[in-house]
Structure 1
Amino acid sequence: MKKSILLFMGLTLLAFFGKAQAPKENSLLWEITAPGQAKPSYLFGTIHLICPADFSLSDSLKIAVAKTEQIALEVDMDDPGMMATMMKTMNMKDGNELKKLFSETEYSRLAQFYKDSVGIGLAMFEKAKPFVLMGPLFNSVLACQPQSYEMSLVELAGKQKSEVIGLETLEEQMAIFDTIPYKDQVKMIVMMIDSLPQARKEFKALVELYKKQDVNGLYQMTMKSEFGMEGNEELMLFDRNKKWIPRIQKSMAEKPTFFAVGAAHLGGEKGVIALLRKEGYKVRAIR
């Protein structure tokens, strides 16, 4: 009986400890201080594509970037070989083709939609992993020429002659989409095309949460999205978060670093902030 009580108390404390590490403050920008390290690094949550009217680089972000010596994105977007690597890694394995993943009717409808609404033909994507098609599809969801926080950070890095590095390689990132069944990726694309008004509504709500800097709200909405993880949370979020921690620690130890990753990676008990706190790092919100 005593053992059962002790076990219950231990599990309760572990659950409480895990929740205590998750961020409660509303902020996209965080200062990270390592034990015994004088100069802090910074962590920023991005939204990968956003309309210019909703885009903003705050003074506090620019000051944080200026205090660092390198910028770490999910992948090194300053790599001159990035496009060549993308071309090598974007195709499906085993000679798969888009036509094999759709019925003839579905494929014709998809091709017509991309031609009429996206402005591109499917021929160039015939062998590409279906998830690659999500990029151009977002132009239809956003109804604007989107702006990128990542590319703006690359520009800031160039101005102050800071190095740009990646927390993972493009090969690692693209390999994720070989582990998610291609037919599941196809379903996500068809679902978004069939539910564009709902997708626009959801993305608008996501942007509002982003502007409020509500990292936990962003995390929760990403987890519940009908157009997002589809049961692949471990692969898309949690495994990557865990993999990034030692790489963040190494980069911080070398020089003050400004880390920028998708905002959905920050919130929750398995998010980057909670994982860093569990490693003994002080992570403080900056507004």
Structure 2
Amino acid sequence: MKKLLFKSLIISNFLMLLIFNVFATEEKSLLWKISGNGLEQESYLFGTIHLICQDQFKMDARILQAFESSEKIIMEIDISDPNVMMDMQRLSLNKDFKNIKDEFDPDHQVAVDEFLKAQLGVGLDQLGVMKPFILSTMIMTKMLPCEEISGYEMFFIEKAKELGKGMGGLETAEFQIGLFDQIPIKTQLDDIGKMVIEGNSMEEFQTLVDAYLNEDIDLLFELITVNEMFQQNGDILLNFRNETWIPQIEEAIKEQATFIAVGSGHLSSELGVIQLLRNAGYTVEPVR
């Protein structure tokens, strides 16, 4: 389980924060049923959060029933595939093992280095060869107010293996990591530095978790769009991806009953998956 959790943590940070363009659904739910438009069977769309304390992990009968009634599970990337995880680990390092330590602002560099040494025993001299989103994930994981951390992707993967269900992904590891390569490294490093120095990251994260547990996907938008990086890069991180997912989702749900699990930030907005599926002619309804 620890090995599977580590795999989830590698990608959790940038998966969790891909949100832009607020669009109120006025309907609270993490689970949505997809039907109509000639479908012979119902499929389901579920919004995940990629890091959460184990004691706050939300799972109930309606989610399990939707999952068990589906023949296949599709996630953003198929992290059950060992080749995908090998790609993730390989691509998580800076090109030519470049150390980005000196690209931090001086005060941010000191704070981040001290935090990493205190929490992990090694600092930026060693960990600076990793891409910013990996450093950010490491730091956020250590900031969480719990020892046991859970993730929905790994839960669904284990459940799918147990029940013998097929699995697939909407994107490749190269594509997802390439998203952050399009964002200025200075922007990413400033975000990390502020997370450590300002010290309010866990309060903000808990507010996000509360909104998630209340299944308020619109409030999730409001909370996350205050982040400057996502205000500037929302089209890269969210909108374009949602649009490219729709044909793949359509192909999957026409073939068989499918359970689609993606970050909850992808559900709402006028360019979110829910509305895009509705625009394509499907009935998408909340399951409560």
Compute the TM-score of the two structures, normalised by the length of structure 2: 0.86
Kept in 1, the 8 Å contact 2:104–2:190? The answer is no
How far did residue 120 of structure 1 move? 4.6
Kept in 1, the 8 Å contact 2:94–2:129? The answer is yes
Kept in 1, the 8 Å contact 2:57–2:150? The answer is yes
> Within 2, Cα distance between the matches of 1:213 and 1:22?
13
In structure 2, the partner of 1:126 is 128
2:167 to 154, 159, 164: 164
- For the aligned residues, what is the CA RMSD? 2.2
> Within 2, Cα distance between the matches of 1:109 and 1:206?
25
In structure 2, the partner of 1:16 is none
In structure 2, the partner of 1:245 is 246
> Within 1, Cα distance between the matches of 2:201 and 2:233?
19
- Among all aligned residue pairs of Structure 1 and Structure 2, give the percentage whose two residues are the same amino acid: 37
Are positions 1:143 and 2:145 aligned together?
yes
Compute the TM-score of the two structures, normalised by the length of structure 1: 0.86
Number of residues paired by the alignment? 267
Change (3 A) 1:119 1:71: farther
Change (3 A) 1:236 1:205: same
Kept in 2, the 8 Å contact 1:72–1:167? The answer is yes
> Within 2, Cα distance between the matches of 1:24 and 1:104?
45
2:192 to 189, 206, 211: 189
How far did residue 100 of structure 1 move? 3.8
> Within 2, Cα distance between the matches of 1:120 and 1:34?
54
> Within 2, Cα distance between the matches of 1:119 and 1:231?
34
In structure 1, the partner of 2:6 is none
In structure 1, the partner of 2:158 is 155
Using the TM superposition, name which of 149-158 and 92-101 deviates more. Answer: 92-101
Name the SS for the 2:251 alignment partner: helix
Larger radius of gyration: 1
Change (3 A) 1:58 1:108: same
Structure 1: runs of 5 or more not aligned: 1-18
Are positions 1:258 and 2:259 aligned together?
yes
Name the SS for the 1:232 alignment partner: helix
Name the SS for the 1:45 alignment partner: strand
Change (3 A) 1:121 1:142: same
Task: Give matches, 1:34-113, under 5 Å.
Answer: 34-93=36-95, 96-102=98-104, 106-113=108-115
How far did residue 172 of structure 1 move? 0.5
